[in-house]
Amino acid sequence: MANTPDRVRVRLPEISPRAYEHPADRGALVALRSLRGFDEVFKRMSGLFNERALRLMFLSGAVRVGPTQFPHLYDYVRDAAYVLDLDEVPELYVQMNPKPNAMAIGSQKPFIVMTTGLFDLLEAEEQRFVIGHEVGHILSGHAVYRTMLLALIQLAARVAWIPLGYIGLRAIVAALEEWYRKSELSCDRAGLLACQDPDAAKRALMKLAGGSKLVEMNPDAFLEQAREYESGGDARDSFLKLLSLMGTTHPFAVVRLAQLHRWIDDGSYRRIIDGDYPRRASDRDAKVGEEARNAANSYKESWERSEDPLLGTLRDVAGSAASAGGKIFDSVADRWRGGPRRDEGANGSS
């Protein structure tokens, strides 16, 4: 594959992942990051997956990218780490697999895997977008939390025989899948920040839906598909949409493109490129309750944009949940940290 001429990309020093994270993703992550020692617990328990064995599997059965193997991909992962100011450049492996896919794996030392199906599907700048997407997962800590959450799901499955255990397990899994899907929207934004080519990002998402024949596709028509999907039909369509999401970890391609287009259109992407973004030093000051409210409000806003009849019934619920949920999360976070209760006075009495 011919490499396109390089160009200068804006570096984003000390960028906090909160700059690009979807509100629903960010709310969950801020809550986890705020709990003292929780990251360390996650990392220790994620050892259940035997990360060392997983890395050895790819070391022996895939091609590790470097200066003499897929050198342009090596440049892309180094560039993405540089632009997003990642402390260490992650390893990247290319695996023989016709199914287009890429993933960030591990907790102690996360690495990236790209299949040949995805490599062959994408052109140079589109590959930059995908690699930046995966670097975003690593910067956000998604690889750590995903590994741990998968371990928890496996452990929970062992007690599924308990009465109502399966129902409880499905509720947990459904919640985790919803967070997982929102984390994908976050890292589409990270991928765009890394490649800094909106057209390439959109092309990559279109190809994930329709294959390599880009000349046969049109971004405006694809966005129209997204609007039709989001507007919904009757209540039967609404119900079928919910069913279609069960068991999925990635949003549909039209939804991803529409979300990324909206993020660009509202000026968020441009503000970050211009240097207006939160730094990592401010992460410790992020308020769990505020992020919970932002998450609930993001759902409410998306439902207000939709003409879907089922979602219309949930708008007011989301608005009240935003305030109540924020107070609950603040209270839980204070108790975990050992801080004073919000209903206590300055002297500590109730």
**Residue-wise DSSP of 49-68:** G-HHHHHHHHHHHSEE-BTT
Query: Which residue did the predictor score with more confidence, 89 or 247?
Result: 89
Would you state the structure tokens that stand for residue 243, as one six-digit string?
């069913």
pLDDT-based confidence at 350, cuts 50/70/90? very low
Residue 307 pLDDT greater than 70, yes or no: no
The helix (H) or strand (E) run that includes residue 92 is: strand 92-95
pLDDT-based confidence at 161, cuts 50/70/90? low
Across the chain, what does the average pLDDT equal?
Answer: 77
* Residues 19-27, mean pLDDT to the nearest whole number: 82
Which region, left, alpha or beta, applies to residue 343 given φ > 0 means left and ψ of -120 to 50 means alpha? Answer: alpha
Quote the pLDDT of residue 309. 52
Least confident of 109-118, 136-145, 225-234, 271-280: 225-234
* Residues 299-327, mean pLDDT to the nearest whole number: 48
Q: How far is residue 183's CA from residue 177's CA, in Å, rounded to a whole number?
A: 10
Residue 134 pLDDT greater than 70, yes or no: yes
Least confident of 13-27, 38-52, 238-252: 38-52
Quote the pLDDT of residue 345. 41
Quote the pLDDT of residue 151. 63
* Domain ranges within the chain, ordered by starting residue: 17-286
Quote the pLDDT of residue 118. 97
What are the distances in angstroms from CA 309 to CA 178, 201, 230, 233, 313?
20, 31, 11, 8, 7
pTM higher than 0.75 for the full model? yes
Rounded to a whole number of angstroms, the distance between the first and last alpha carbons of the chain is 69
Quote the pLDDT of residue 343. 41
pLDDT in tens, 320-344: 444 444 443 444 445 444 544 434 4
Quote the pLDDT of residue 321. 42
Quote the pLDDT of residue 180. 81
The helix (H) or strand (E) run that includes residue 80 is: helix 71-83
Question: CB–CB of 197/128 below 8 Å?
Answer: yes
pLDDT-based confidence at 1, cuts 50/70/90? very low
* Residues 147-176, mean pLDDT to the nearest whole number: 62
Would you state the structure tokens that stand for residue 257, as one six-digit string?
């493109």
Quote the pLDDT of residue 326. 41
* Residues 165-183, mean pLDDT to the nearest whole number: 70
CA atoms within 13 A on the CB side of 38: 15
Alpha-carbon dihedral sign for residues 121, 126, 128, 130: negative
Question: CB–CB of 191/198 below 8 Å?
Answer: no
Alpha-carbon dihedral sign for residues 205, 95, 11, 180: positive
pLDDT in tens, 196-249: 999 999 999 999 999 999 989 998 999 999 888 877 666 666 667 666 666 667
Question: CB–CB of 38/136 below 8 Å?
Answer: no
Residue 33 pLDDT greater than 80, yes or no: no
